[in-house]
Structure 1
Amino acid sequence: MILNKDCVLCNINQDPEQQILLENDHCLYIQKLSEQEVLEGSGLIIPKNHVETAFDLSSKEWSATKELMDQAKTMLDETYAPDGYSVGWNVYPIGGQHIPHAHLHIIPRFKDEPYAGRGIRYWMKQKENKRT
């Protein structure tokens, strides 16, 4: 297994707020306690190997990600009964990736939240985001 000693996602157990909820041979599904107040039920699927972006995942890591995504959805449906989901990858700092270890966001969405109906591209489509 390839790990980076300075990577927070390679060293999940060093952060007491991180909980591993699901696991397979290649990936983990985690939730961070402090993020549950606003993003109830949200979590990340991360490869166990230190892989920088989604573009760098092996075929086994892709398959394992899909497997955990299905398991996470079942668990989240049973626990929170969300009305929808936002699922996505951020890649490189300009793309919103602040931790250089690939991670897939799984975010349950609810019809009573203030930004219900606004998907992952909503903010990028605003006129204020047009390149000059």
Structure 2
Amino acid sequence: MPGEPPCPYCNASELRRGAFVRENDLCLLSIKPSETGALEGAGIIVPKAHRPTVFDLTPQEWAATQDLLLQAKAHLDATLAPDGYNAGWNVGEVGGQHVMHAHFHVMPRFQDEPLAGHGIRSHLKATRNRRPI
């Protein structure tokens, strides 16, 4: 829309800059070095066409995402040898999506992390997250 900033994932040049990149006709995988030392090896898989959420992907984009997810795992297994993974989508602002272009997170996890064993739902299951009655 006029006046809105351009989508940072529609122009993939920033996703490619300084990153390990793999792509197919429909999606791109970007794994950048960690800027903070946390989440080393974390990456995202982005459809090349602008899709606001995972629910907007075509069946072909789902298959293309899976193809890159398997390539990401092979690369991370070979280079970092993680002990586990978190993988998933954030959808909508309330769901934690800050860029409104669908992107699949791939996060290697390690036994020696302070939060090892905490999954992607652990903070959501906390009693402090209970909705008001």
TM-score scaled to structure 2, two decimals?
0.90
Change (3 A) 1:86 1:14: closer
- For the Cα contact (< 8 Å) 1:89–1:104, is it kept in 2? yes
Q: 1:92 is matched with which residue?
A: 92
Q: 1:30 is matched with which residue?
A: 30
- Give 3-state SS (helix, strand or coil) of 2:19's partner: strand
Q: 1:113 is matched with which residue?
A: 113
Structure 2 unpaired stretches of 5+: none
Runs of 4+ displaced beyond 6 Å = none
5 Å-filtered alignment, 1:52-67, equals 52-67=52-67
- Distance across 2 between alignment mates of 1:95 and 1:18: 28
- For the Cα contact (< 8 Å) 1:36–1:42, is it kept in 2? no
Q: 2:68 is matched with which residue?
A: 68
After superposition, give the CA deviation of every residue in 1:50-109 in whole Å (9 maximum; x if it has no partner): 000000000110000000001110000000000000001000000000000000000000
Change (3 A) 1:42 1:14: closer
- Distance across 2 between alignment mates of 1:61 and 1:15: 18
TM-score scaled to structure 1, two decimals?
0.90
Identity %: 50
- Give 3-state SS (helix, strand or coil) of 1:93's partner: coil
Give the drift of 1:13: 1.1
Q: Residue type matched to 1:25 in 2?
A: D
Structure 1 unpaired stretches of 5+: none
After superposition, give the CA deviation of every residue in 1:35-61 in whole Å (9 maximum; x if it has no partner): 462111000000000000000000110
- Give 3-state SS (helix, strand or coil) of 1:95's partner: coil
- Give 3-state SS (helix, strand or coil) of 1:123's partner: coil
Number of paired residues?
A: 129
